[in-house]
Structure 1
Amino acid sequence: MKCVFNRTCGIVLTAMLALAGCFSESTQAEAVNQTQTTKPSNPAPAPAPVQAQAPAMDFREGVHYTTIVPAIPTQVPQGKVEVVEMFWYGCPHCYSLEPTIQRYLQTKPENVVFQQVPATLSPRWAYHAKLFYVGKMLDPTGDKHVHTKIFEALQKQRRQINSDDAMIRFFGEQGFAPEQVTKALQSMEMQAMLARSDEVGKGSKADSVPVIIVNGKYMTSPSKVGSEETLLQVINYLTKR
């Protein structure tokens, strides 16, 4: 089951959107309207069986990935390939994907530059983007595992970090002073990072997370390919392209 934009992850709507990830509010509203206005005369057909994992050379556009037109500008040196994960801290599917992402980072090709970009599909998601970027500025090397701790705070502890005061309290628990958090929030670097999030979100036209974008040209996701293991194969396939 997937989580939709609001807090009621587990409502009947999720069964209709299963496996796809966490959706934006507009996508959820559209699905709700369809269920309220459409009254099928016949029972819905049984879902098709899940297809077996595709061979590495049998990945097809429109099935396992889509092409982004126009391509999103990348932020990597010439000769490098940018792989972006677009995510949201409130999405349980993004959280469950973390071990797979860490495994990918240990085996990715040397020419790949991996980046995580928080989605900004709503004001709440946009605030969590600030949360991610403050953590990135305060813990640039990742030694304090702030990114993981934020995920755990929201997903395991069910904390609400949706205001500056709540953010300051959280980072205070990680050993950072309020002034450090405020400075990061008000920095030009923050504005540039948020602009990048908007650029990736609008350019990809993604309405759910998690998704993976390869070199600004191709987009795939665990739901599209059927499994996290296949996802890694598709990423490597697209990287070689």
Structure 2
Amino acid sequence: MKCVFSRTCGIALAAMLALAGCFSESTQAEAVNQTAVPSIAALAPAQTSAPTPAAPTLNVREGVHYTVISPPIPTQAPQGKVEVVEMFWYGCPHCYTLEPTIHRYLQSKPDNVVFQQVPSTLSPRWAYHAKLFYVGKMLDPNGQKQVHNKIFEALQKQRRQINNDDAMIRFFGEQGFTAEQVTKALQSMEMQAMLARSDEVGKGSKADSVPVIIVNGKYMTSPSKVGSEDGLLQVINHLTKLK
């Protein structure tokens, strides 16, 4: 879904957040990020006791539900494992609404799948949010403080602007980390290696929007290609079985 943002379009966009994507350097992406949009839950009809129908089984097709990346992107998965990468941006509401689906996937993914989240660096603003992600990853490596979720909530729900080092230090201070810890992480060689990996995945995939899912460095899909979150999980599972 791609449109010129207006009030009417904003309502339609909110209803399809999980199925769309954010484009860097576009009016739509910036307008969505700066405008409070009704939540999916607020727009959904009242729940009933009727069971949710099972998602139809997709006939997964190349060029429709996924594309082939050529040449393939180098992966970081151990030999014999399949790498699944989600490219995202903290400022993207579509990535935020996809989080529950990603959590659901992690609970049921095959044992041979290694999952990674890789922040996109499509613009300077996105690249700074990539640093935000990697600082959080270094300071909260096991996710005990749920820093990743708190960053998403700070930007998407609280509408905070964490676009410079002072703001980043304040945010991580609220999570119990010191300014020295944040500065050390920002200036580390590990940070440079992680940012290089983000650039490698972004340039190699030629992805111009997020969220996207990259499987084994060879195949790329997205909610907008598939049309539903359940369908996206079907496509991911299909792609992890391909050679």
SS in 1 for 2:63: coil
Distance 2:201 2:27 in 1: 18
Distance 1:27 1:83 in 2: 30
Partner of 1:69: 70
Once the two structures are superposed, the pairs formed by residues 1-241 of structure 1 within 5 Å of their partners are 19-25=19-25, 55-56=57-58, 58-241=59-242
1:24: Cα distance to partner? 1.4
Distance 2:63 2:116 in 1: 24
1:213: Cα distance to partner? 0.2
Deviations 1:129-153 (A, max 9, x none): 0000000000000000000000000
Deviations 1:69-114 (A, max 9, x none): 0000000111000000000000011000001100100000000000
Tell me if the contact between 2:212 and 2:221 (Cα under 8 Å) persists in the aligned partners: yes
TM-score, length of structure 1 as denominator length: 0.82
SS in 2 for 1:137: helix
Counterpart AA for 2:175: Q
Quick one: structure 1 residues 130 and 12, their matched pair in 2 at CA, closer, same or farther if it must change by over 3 Å?
farther
Quick one: structure 1 residues 187 and 10, their matched pair in 2 at CA, closer, same or farther if it must change by over 3 Å?
farther
Counterpart AA for 2:217: G
Counterpart AA for 1:202: K
SS in 1 for 2:122: coil
Pairs aligned (count): 212
Distance 1:160 1:188 in 2: 26
Which consecutive unaligned segments of at least 5 residues does structure 1 have? 30-52
Distance 1:3 1:85 in 2: 24
Distance 2:2 2:22 in 1: 6
Quick one: structure 1 residues 10 and 154, their matched pair in 2 at CA, closer, same or farther if it must change by over 3 Å?
farther
Quick one: structure 1 residues 27 and 166, their matched pair in 2 at CA, closer, same or farther if it must change by over 3 Å?
closer
1:11: Cα distance to partner? 6.6
Which consecutive unaligned segments of at least 5 residues does structure 2 have? 30-54
SS in 2 for 1:25: coil
Distance 2:77 2:228 in 1: 28
Tell me if the contact between 2:83 and 2:116 (Cα under 8 Å) persists in the aligned partners: yes
For the aligned residue pairs, the C-alpha RMSD in angstroms reads: 2.3
Distance 2:148 2:195 in 1: 17
Quick one: structure 1 residues 222 and 150, their matched pair in 2 at CA, closer, same or farther if it must change by over 3 Å?
same
Quick one: structure 1 residues 156 and 3, their matched pair in 2 at CA, closer, same or farther if it must change by over 3 Å?
farther
Distance 2:143 2:80 in 1: 26
1:55: Cα distance to partner? 2.8
TM-score, length of structure 2 as denominator length: 0.82
Tell me if the contact between 2:2 and 2:28 (Cα under 8 Å) persists in the aligned partners: no
SS in 1 for 2:240: helix
Q: Determine what percentage of the aligned residue pairs are the same residue.
A: 84
Quick one: structure 1 residues 205 and 54, their matched pair in 2 at CA, closer, same or farther if it must change by over 3 Å?
farther
Quick one: structure 1 residues 13 and 199, their matched pair in 2 at CA, closer, same or farther if it must change by over 3 Å?
farther
Distance 1:27 1:219 in 2: 25
Distance 2:200 2:9 in 1: 29
